[in-house]
């Protein structure tokens, strides 16, 4: 399958459909970033699994199938100049009737604080609203994940509500607060 039609890019970042060719980079980014990601297991439960190259390959294959079924579109984020693997961004919980969806994202901690994710999220949601016709996008973020919350605000999302004690931490059973951020089409 050709993924070139899905490419979204600007001078700083390139977003393209995640596929099996990304598995090694995905695996390395996960290994490097797990200690940080595991601070937020209620909103990122997948981080509790031990990563492996095989599981990264399987994940990439499964996301291509999800794309073909129009259930989930997962993109890699790469530096436009060096092609370094920055992270992942996706659209899920897609309601094709009402043109709404949720977005998720994470970055290799080696690239935190460098503006890549702000650029990628702005580019991604801009394309979804302006070119793909989405009316509303949501982002669900652990209340304690300050960096992700700030990222949502930098990408013009607004805090819609805090869902108190709405997600269970799989590590200790404690309940976590999840912030719901929204971005709505101006049209």
Q: Which of 124, 20, 125, 128 is nearest to 77 (CA)?
A: 124
Determine the pLDDT at residue 50.
79
| Ordered structural domains, the chain, with CATH | 4-184 (3.40.630.30)
Determine the pLDDT at residue 51.
79
Give, for all 187 residues of the chain, the pLDDT tens digit: 556 668 889 999 999 988 889 999 989 998 888 777 777 665 666 666 777 888 888 888 888 888 777 888 989 999 999 999 999 999 999 999 999 999 999 899 899 899 999 999 999 999 999 989 999 999 999 898 899 999 999 999 999 999 888 777 766 777 888 899 999 998 7
Number of H helices, E strands in the chain: 4, 8
Query: Distance between CA atoms of 139 and 153, rounded to whole angstroms?
Result: 11
Whether the pTM exceeds 0.85: the reply is yes
Determine the pLDDT at residue 44.
63
């Amino acid at each position: 399958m050709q993924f070139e039609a899905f490419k979204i890019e600007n001078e700083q970042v390139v977003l393209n459909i995640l596929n099996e060719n990304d598995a090694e980079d995905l695996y390395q980014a996960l290994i490097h970033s797990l200690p940080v990601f595991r601070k937020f297991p209620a909103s990122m439960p997948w981080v509790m699994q031990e990563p492996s190259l095989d599981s990264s390959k399987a994940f990439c294959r499964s996301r291509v199938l999800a794309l073909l079924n129009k259930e989930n579109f997962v993109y890699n984020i790469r530096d436009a100049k060096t092609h370094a693997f920055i992270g992942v961004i996706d659209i899920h919980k897609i309601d094709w009737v009402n043109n709404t969806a949720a977005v998720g994202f994470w970055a290799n901690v080696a690239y935190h604080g460098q503006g890549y994710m702000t650029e990628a999220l702005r580019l991604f949601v801009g394309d979804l609203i302006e070119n793909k016709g989405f009316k509303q996008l949501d982002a669900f973020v652990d209340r304690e994940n300050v960096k992700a919350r700030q990222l949502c605000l930098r990408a013009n999302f607004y805090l819609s509500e805090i869902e108190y004690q709405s997600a269970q931490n799989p590590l200790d059973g404690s309940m976590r607060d999840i912030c719901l951020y929204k971005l709505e089409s101006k049209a």
